[in-house]
Amino acid sequence: MRSDAPFDRIVETLRHRRSLPPLAPEHAWHPGLDAEIAGLSDEVMTKDRPDGRMTARAWKALLHLWNDSLEPAHAIVQELETPTGAALHGILHRREGDFGNAKYWFRTAGEHPAYFGLQAKVSEWLADPDKSGVGLPAGPAGEAIRTIARQGVWNPYLFTDAVEIAVRSVGDDAAVDILENIQLLELEAFLRYLRAWLAPAEFAD
């Protein structure tokens, strides 16, 4: 059995959940996963790299976020003084509905490498009617999504604005569904980044 099997099992469980991670979760999707995530070995996850503990903590925070488990994710990122920690901190506060604080942490993170390639994946997904549905929704949230589709690089502030508009609107289910799919692409982008950072040859997609 490979040493990273527990991590891979958790990731596969999260990838095959029937519901998308909501924009504003009210509780953990799978409470039992929290203990499994906390029990992952920092040493095994980081392959003895010098910055191992910080990177392992970022992995765990990401997995908690994907599991809609905001409290344990927050306990990690508030002590993770790295660009990745700041970016995950921004995602956390966005999902808590604290949009101004989310933007503060995105500014702290700066041009994070996890964003490279994310915009292309988002634009491609939005352009595929089989994935995003035929046409984009009307209204302010729909206009924000159209702007996201046209932009050249990933803009976490614009995505935060779009989420804020959608969650504060009533009956904007189409926009919420699209934004939840984009949020999943965002989580996947950080997964790819952390995998490449920890073990490029082993985890290359």
What pLDDT digit, counting tens, does each position of 36-88 carry?
Answer: 998 887 666 666 555 667 788 898 999 999 999 999 999 999 999 999 999 99
Distances (CA, A) of 157 to 16, 63, 74, 103: 28, 22, 20, 6
The residue whose two tokens read 């921004």 is 90
> Does position 123 have pLDDT exceeding 80, yes or no?
yes
How far from each other are the two terminal CA atoms of the chain, in whole angstroms? 20
Which domain, by its residues, includes 15?
5-203
More confident residue, 102 or 4: 102
Q: What is the mean pLDDT of residues 15-31?
A: 94
Quote the pLDDT of residue 131. 63
- Comparing 12-26, 121-135, 177-191, the range with the smallest average pLDDT is 121-135
Give CA–CA dist 193/199, Å, rounded.
10
More confident residue, 42 or 187: 187
The number of domains in the chain is: 1
Do residues 29 and 55 lie in contact, with contact meaning Cβ atoms separated by under 8 Å? no
More confident residue, 31 or 171: 31
Pick the closest to residue 20 from 183, 171, 194 (CA basis): 183
- CB neighbour list of residue 32: distance below 8 Å, 6 or more residues apart: none
Give CA–CA dist 56/198, Å, rounded.
9
C-alpha dihedral over 53, 69, 157, 15, to 10 degrees?
90
Quote the pLDDT of residue 43. 64
> Does position 164 have pLDDT exceeding 90, yes or no?
yes
Q: Is 135 helix (H, G, I), strand (E, B) or coil?
A: coil
Pick the closest to residue 144 from 127, 119, 164, 117 (CA basis): 164
Residue type, 4: D
Neighbours of 135 (CB within 10 A): 9
More confident residue, 6 or 46: 6
Pick the closest to residue 121 from 190, 68, 19 (CA basis): 190
